[in-house]
Structure 1
Amino acid sequence: MPDPSAWTCPAPLRDRSVVVPGHGGGGALSAELVRELFLPAYGNETLGGLADSAALTLGGARLAFSTDSHVVRPLFFPGGSIGDLAVNGTVNDLAMSGARPAHLSCAYILEEGTDLAVVDRVAQDVGAAARAAGVTVVTGDTKVVETGHGDGVYLTTAGIGLIPDGVDIRPQRATPGDVVLVSGPVGMHGVAVLSVREGLEFGVELTSDTAPLGGLVAAMLAVTPDLHVLRDPTRGGVAAALNEIAAASGTGVVLAEDRLPVPEAVAAACGFLGLDPLYVANEGRLLAFVPPGHADAVLDAMRRHPQGAGAAVIGECVAEHPGTVVARTRFGGTRVVDLPLGEQLPRIC
């Protein structure tokens, strides 16, 4: 088999002096922004790990700490809202370190002229999502910008949680032989948001998969604390998450395309729009790199949990082509699954 790590393909020039939408898309432009601007400005060993949340030791306790901003348009969509996303996004980032989420902050940036009924609806969704996730919103902030300088409501949440003893989950721990699992069907959130934004109809209503994943992770850890990597494939989808893990660990990943659970409606919508489901954002799914000796038991535990009922094995971690993700296609071929350059679907989270 050819060595995919030696393959190249042309890409647009990325030398830019101004911010573009792709800088917030979770792909190559986002990675460059972090690597070339933010890390030199205030980089440190903890930040340099580039995990979904920072693992810290404070007063003898191991804490996970994460923050996330949400600028989704529209504010309300089938299956959720910006309020759900704000809570679940941060709760899930904490869970990807194996932490038990505990407390959140929530800051609102409101545009002048926004109906207070809209703000109330968002706040109610934040509260309901926090209760469903088993966390409390304990602090926050509110700012208002002039008409035309915002888009109704933007939210920023930060959260903390406790990491149990014996748990060490981070992208650098991916190891050749690890089995790659996904917790359920992918692509639903991004296509659901796009469908209502653009007024598209695909014959069936697509709903976002936004959901808290802390309970699912707890069920997986009950099988074994030795989960190597967890990652929720949000911006940039499964493709971006796998590339980030491969790069951080210096290993290769082989993905079996025919095993990836893609709902028929998502596949049809992506085909119509020219999108690849691998790059479409999810808000209630996780990827897990699990040692082979524990993979079957972890998969069984996932399938017995409501948020993991559609869990599947989708690939493996390999020593070959380090840092590169390769997909075996349904037709027997092989293709490189690269980090997306920018953002297929802007403003979806």
Structure 2
Amino acid sequence: MQRISLAHGEGGEVANELIQKVFIKSFGHSKHTQFDSAILSLREQTIAVTTDSFVVNPLFFPGGNIGKLAIAGTVNDLAVSGAIPYVLTAGFIIEEGFPIKSLKDIVKTMAEEAERAGVTIVAGDTKVVEKGSADGLFINTTGIGIVQEKRLQPELIQEGDSVLISGTIGDHGVAILSARQELGLLTNVQSDCASLTGIIHELLEEVKGVRIMRDPTRGGLATTLVELCEDFRFSIELDEDLIPVRKDVQGACDILGYDPLYLANEGKVVIIVDSNEEQKALALLQSYEIGKNAKVIGKVASCEDESGKLLLKTIVGTTKRLNRLAGPLLPRIC
């Protein structure tokens, strides 16, 4: 068979063949997969758990596909929480008629990204739905990470702390637009989709003043920082002139009326760090290929703001308040 049929979801011989030839071929078969649950020995560990679902459209885009996105998105959520990603589960909802070759390509990419991130996929599930009931393929992942010790210290955030971003913003959003052919031949921007476990682990090992981290995915950099300001009740002032944006990303945004501050990123981390550790953190980020465009983009302006505000000092010298993304910008972005 070259395409998924309803029989692939019935649990019989055809389903077993799919599991053996697609999933186990890429993910491997270990003692974890011999039962209806993965049996893990964590001893007396503090763990972090995250779950996410991926419905990106299209499934393949410049710089990645839904499989790479599913692994990177999940391990990044664990890493920015101060955890070392350990194991993942993966659930697949597949539409009848979906090409098996495409599924193999996606699963192979997942296995490769999991290896890069240092995680194992220990459990999974496959469901097949009738044609028209889904849009090709949806993936759900759950990740577990080990928190070795308290590394993040948001309670120590103070006025003057530095805000860093690990690279250019808006790349993933523009790559998706390009894949949807809304940009034609205007850009060849690649998605920044990538696992950040290595760079974040070293940052937490080497820089002692890291207050908090987030990955600015849906809603972009602005929405992520607004949430931090509101949750922890402090204000940030960003310098628009310092925020790294690729020229072709900015050009695409200018043509289509988007703001790169609100476009999704899938391989970036925003960090608040003690100003005394700013240069050490920046140098470490820039020592990695995925962090070569890292910048200091602002400061914590006040820790006495109960409402929490994100302010932007514009290139013309004025200051304006940024809010969360209001309404849909780019649906099916991840």
d(CA) in 1 for partners of 2:210, 2:91: 33
TM-score under structure 2 normalisation?
Answer: 0.84
1:3 corresponds in structure 2 to: none
2:198 corresponds in structure 1 to: 215
2:315 corresponds in structure 1 to: 330
> Where does 1:281-320 land on structure 2 (aligned, <5 Å)?
281-319=264-302
Change (3 A) 1:115 1:184: same
CA contact (8 A) 1:181 1:289 kept: yes
Partner deviation per Cα, 1:260-316 (whole Å, 9 max, x = no partner): 000000000000110000000000000000011111111111111222111100011
1:76 corresponds in structure 2 to: 60
Partner deviation per Cα, 1:92-137 (whole Å, 9 max, x = no partner): 0000012111111000011111111121111111111111111111
The residue type equivalent to 2:198 in the other structure is: G
Structure 2 counterpart of 1:128, from 103, 106, 112? 112
The residue type equivalent to 2:169 in the other structure is: V
1:340 corresponds in structure 2 to: 325
d(CA) in 2 for partners of 1:174, 1:245: 11
Greater CA radius of gyration, 1 or 2?
2
d(CA) in 2 for partners of 1:232, 1:174: 18
CA contact (8 A) 2:45 2:148 kept: no
CA contact (8 A) 2:49 2:143 kept: yes
Structure 2 counterpart of 1:256, from 239, 261, 266? 239
1:233 corresponds in structure 2 to: 216
1:196 corresponds in structure 2 to: 179
CA contact (8 A) 1:188 1:266 kept: yes
1:62 corresponds in structure 2 to: 46
TM-score under structure 1 normalisation?
Answer: 0.80
The residue type equivalent to 1:181 in the other structure is: L
d(CA) in 2 for partners of 1:262, 1:294: 24
Change (3 A) 1:173 1:123: farther
> Where does 1:239-278 land on structure 2 (aligned, <5 Å)?
239-278=222-261
Is 199-208 or 158-167 further displaced after alignment? 199-208
2:262 corresponds in structure 1 to: 279
Residue 216 of structure 1: CA displacement?
0.8
Q: What's the Cα RMSD here? A: 1.5
d(CA) in 1 for partners of 2:219, 2:153: 21
2:29 corresponds in structure 1 to: none
Q: Unpaired segments of 5 or more residues in structure 2?
A: 1-41
CA contact (8 A) 2:187 2:252 kept: no
Partner deviation per Cα, 1:54-84 (whole Å, 9 max, x = no partner): xxxx753121111111000000000000000
d(CA) in 1 for partners of 2:74, 2:136: 21
d(CA) in 2 for partners of 1:313, 1:303: 11
Is 177-186 or 112-121 further displaced after alignment? 112-121
d(CA) in 1 for partners of 2:141, 2:286: 30
1:151 and 2:138 matched: no
d(CA) in 1 for partners of 2:156, 2:47: 19
1:113 and 2:71 matched: no
CA contact (8 A) 1:202 1:269 kept: no
Residue 169 of structure 1: CA displacement?
5.1
The residue type equivalent to 1:316 in the other structure is: K
d(CA) in 2 for partners of 1:238, 1:343: 16
Q: Unpaired segments of 5 or more residues in structure 1?
A: 1-57
CA contact (8 A) 2:178 2:187 kept: no
CA contact (8 A) 1:256 1:314 kept: yes
